[in-house]
Amino acid sequence: MTIHFHERLHINDRNLCRLFMQEIRGIYTDLELTAEELDLLAMPRRSFTVHFPVRMDSGKTRMFIGYRVQYNDARGPAKGGIRFHPDLTIDHVKDLALLMVLKCAVVNIPFGGSKGGVVVNPRELSRNELEQLTRGYIRAINNFIGPFKDIPAPDVYTDEKIMVWIMDEFERIHGAHMPAVVTGKPVELGGTKARHYSTALGGIYVLEEALERAAVEKTTARVAVQGFGNVGKNAARLFFERGYKVVAVSAVEGGVMSPDGLDIPAVVRRQEATGSLLDFKGSRNITNQELLASDCDILVPAALSDQLHMGNADAVKAKIVLELANAPTTIEADEIFFGKKILVIPDVIANAGGVVVSYFEWSQNLTSNYWKEEEVLQKLKHIMVSSFNDVYSACSEPRCRMRKAAYLLAIKRVLDAERLRGNL
């Protein structure tokens, strides 16, 4: 198993919480929420801290701290990732769990929201220590998770191998095969086909619905993609295959640009061979900041948070910003884009394809009825397009601020579920 790290570890979604809190003030007013409704939304249903021992390779035992927050499960079992990060706090986990509630509600899948993880720097652990840490954490929380309680998934610095360890430890404790306890597994052990590119493709499905409304032809649309990890690389590849002109891509070290469009398969081959995007034949090298200000129609931030901010938002020339990263746009940039009539398709819907396909994996695990890749893609497209249309219809303003509309729709759905259960 290989885990790649930046020199500095990042938690990329704190800005998303800030954006949510800014929009939520207006939403509370629009919905005329009661004190009871506000209280219900303001507090997680369950949150807990666990302390558990791990036998290290040295033979010594080290204690670790883990968290799990199940924010709301009115619409279905809680759903949310497990992250291993040295800066993890219970307060931040609560924020992320609330955002999972909203994301699942926006795309209208029958899940609530949760989040969890362990306070650890995985760079400091051997493979064996990482496995023992994972199994120890699951032993500590196993009574609180399960296919009909709370279903974990990969998150920051966790991957499909760690999901296998989670499943295996949970099944060992409970003495039964229960693959639906976790999603993000390899296909060979109940994972779903198309999962590796589902986030990117889900975003493209949403974008194409927006392009139809804006009467923009995808064959003439110029795309710039910031970030060339799993999501960004797959997004660039899919854009190229679907006939878009991808004029710029970038990674940590910088990127390349060609006004005539880049041959993305060739760019990928070069990166895999050399470890860099730079000096690609027929293009010029650019910085990440130059990419964000490039002459394009569609800007796709698919890297870290806070990339679009007060210092560079005025320079953005794109007509549409498709947020495949978590929280790439600061509050100030969001205001600037609204003033410039740039359509921002927010991450809460744009990058929800991953959790949608996680829902498919869970459903297939429960029934042992596994779908072909074409069927997965068809179902993903239906949910993403329907969700975009729901959000777009929820815009009450003449000019749609989609972030606020998405939060508004999500809160309505959660509160409707609570009322039907008799909790309000």
DSSP string, 98-158: HHHHHHHHHTT-S--EEEEEE---GGGS-HHHHHHHHHHHHHHHGGG-BTTTEEEEE-TT-
Q: Contact 354/192 with Cβ under 8 angstroms?
A: no
Answer yes or no: 115 catalytic. yes
Question: Is the Cα torsion angle 320, 326, 329, 332 positive or negative in sign?
Answer: positive
Using DSSP's 3-state secondary structure scheme, residue 399 falls into: coil
End-to-end CA distance of the chain: 47
What separation in angstroms does the CA of 388 have from each of 45, 135, 208, 281? 28, 39, 10, 38
* Cα 33 from chain centre: 28
CA dist., res. 62 & res. 191, Å (int):
32
Residues 260 and 248: their CA atoms lie apart, in Å, by 10
Catalytic one of 79, 103, 115, 233: 115
**Distance, CA of 344 to CA of 320 (rounded, Å):** 6
Residue 43's identity, in one-letter code, is M
What are the φ/ψ torsions at residue 108 (nearest 5 degrees)? 60, 45
Q: What sections of 189-229 are H helices per DSSP?
A: 198-214
Q: Nearest 5°: phi and psi at 254?
A: 125, -170
Give the tokens for residue 122. Answer: 């995985």
d(CA 354, CA 371): 17
Residue closest to 69 by CA, chosen among 57, 80, 53, 85: 80
Tell me if 103 sits within 8 A of 143, measured CB to CB: no
Helices and strands counted in the chain (H then E): 14, 12
Burial class (CB in 10 A: 0-12, 13-18, 19+), 415: buried
β-partners of residue 298 are 223, 320
Task: Give me the active site residues, please.
Answer: 115
